[in-house]
Amino acid sequence: MTVHLVKLAVGVESISNLRRLQRQRALALGLDGGVASVTRRRPRRAEAVLDGGSLFWVIRGSLCVRQRVLAFGDGVDAEGRSTCVLTLDPYLQPTQSVARRPFQGWRYLAPEDAPGDLAESAEVVTALPAGLAGMLDALGVR
């Protein structure tokens, strides 16, 4: 059964900012055709994630974009500790905005709890400040 991951995009201001940072990291790592995200631990449910799962990004307190997870690999950080490298599809798919509190690492997300996809032009809406986006969602306006 498919499962998704949720991860904070720390220091990222918008979807376009995430896109730019991922391109820079891909160039620095010499990746061709994909982007990577590094995490400390490999998910125990990695096979379920690879069965059509995505990595949902939380930007400024709002889960608002996802990327398909293509593969998991092993890596080593600057201190020599082992890491898990997630290879991601470079396409960032905007989703319906859902408020999320800060957390460490990543979390699993069941498919039935995953927000729906939006059209690419919806990125403007997800760029709203988290507080304003949350108020609009609560009022049912967005």
Domains of the chain, by residue range, sit at: 4-139
Query: Which amino acid appears at position 4 of this protein?
Result: H
Whether 64 contacts 97, CB under 8 Å: yes
DSSP-H helix ranges across 5-64: 15-29, 46-50
Return the structure tokens found at 8: 């904070």
The pTM (predicted TM-score) of the whole model is 0.80
Cα Rg, the chain, nearest whole Å: 15
Stated as kind and residue range, the H or E segment containing 62 is: strand 62-76
| Rounded distance between C-alpha atoms, residue 35 and residue 23, angstroms | 7
| Rounded distance between C-alpha atoms, residue 51 and residue 128, angstroms | 32
- Cα-to-chain-centroid distance, residue 130: 16
| Rounded distance between C-alpha atoms, residue 130 and residue 119, angstroms | 20
Q: What is the pLDDT along the chain (142 residues), one digit of tens a residue?
A: 899 999 999 999 999 999 999 988 888 777 777 798 888 899 999 999 999 999 999 999 999 999 999 999 998 888 999 999 899 999 999 999 999 999 988 999 999 999 999 875 555 555 566 667 667 766 666 5
Helix (H, G, I), strand (E, B), or coil: what is residue 18? helix
